[in-house]
Amino acid sequence: MELKDTAAIVTGGASGLGAATADALSGAGTKVHVFDLTSGPEGHDRSDGVTYHDVDVTDPSAVREAVAEVAADSSPLRAVVNCAGIGPSARLLGKAGPHDFELLSTVVAVNLLGTFHVLTLAAEQIARTSPDQQGQRGVVINTASAAAFDGQVGQAAYAASKGAVAALTLPAARDLAQYGIRVMTIAPGILLTPMLMTVSEEFRDRLAEGVPFPPRLGDPAEFAALALAIIENDYLNGDVIRLDGGLRMPPR
């Protein structure tokens, strides 16, 4: 699928994986619309083809309004990359008692429902565009996690939400095939996001030691490069790609 002179939505695009993806899409000639709870990264050049929208992905009404605004632009909406997510840690049974159910609801609301809202409402608008010569109209890429398959101690809620995103991939691709819309998911391992930068370098080095090859943490730019490769490869559909250097997470 050609990216030049089209529009794309990136959720969670004000930082981390989303920001790297927004920059990569913009560099490929795409008009990028970032949906995030912040107005954009400090110091970011707003004339570089990236527009920021203050959107809570857990609110379907807000998502519908923002997607409609994007679709009203002259550039056809062709790509969506869902990066918005949270990853708090809590054990099912901890020193303070059982898992906080409000925390569970929040994790599911952001990671699963937010992804579902944007996927569905963006697909509604993409389906209204004219198909290209191959009959395709767009592609949606969701973000799961290695935790969807190798959830660690304290990751029950997070792993469940990301496992659901992975499970969503194939049926969503089957549902949207008739409209020429592909659906893929990336399941990253340990990538060097701003959140990970808050821990000590020693701790990050220990994490990197568990990666078979290359023995280092992943770079958000590698996530962005994979997202672009998925968009450009028309035969990738209905599958989950792990981006983790061969890492299989230990229990803790």
Q: What is the mean pLDDT of each run of 10 residues along the chain (252 residues)?
A: 92 95 96 86 58 96 97 94 94 93 97 98 97 95 96 94 98 98 97 78 82 94 98 97 92 84
CA dist 1 and 113 (Å) reads 27
pLDDT at 74: 85
DSSP label at residue 213: S
- In sign, the C-alpha dihedral spanning 248, 113, 177, 128 is negative
Question: Considering the entire predicted model, what is its pTM?
Answer: 0.93
pLDDT at 202: 82
The phi, psi pair for 15, rounded to 5°, reads: -160, 170
CA dist 114 and 112 (Å) reads 6
CA dist 190 and 194 (Å) reads 12
Residue 252 in domain: no
CA dist 144 and 85 (Å) reads 9
CA dist 107 and 110 (Å) reads 5
pLDDT at 130: 94
Residue 2 in domain: no
Residue 1 in domain: no
CA dist 118 and 33 (Å) reads 13
Q: Which residues are catalytic?
A: 158
CATH number of residue 129's parent domain: 3.40.50.720
pLDDT at 148: 95
Residue 36: which domain range?
7-243
CA dist 228 and 231 (Å) reads 5
Residue 248 in domain: no
How are beta strands 97-98 and 138-143 bridged, if at all? Answer: unpaired
Residue 251 in domain: no
The number of distinct structural domains making up the chain is 1
Residue 155 in domain: yes
- Here the tokens at position 240 are 């989950």
The phi, psi pair for 129, rounded to 5°, reads: -85, 165
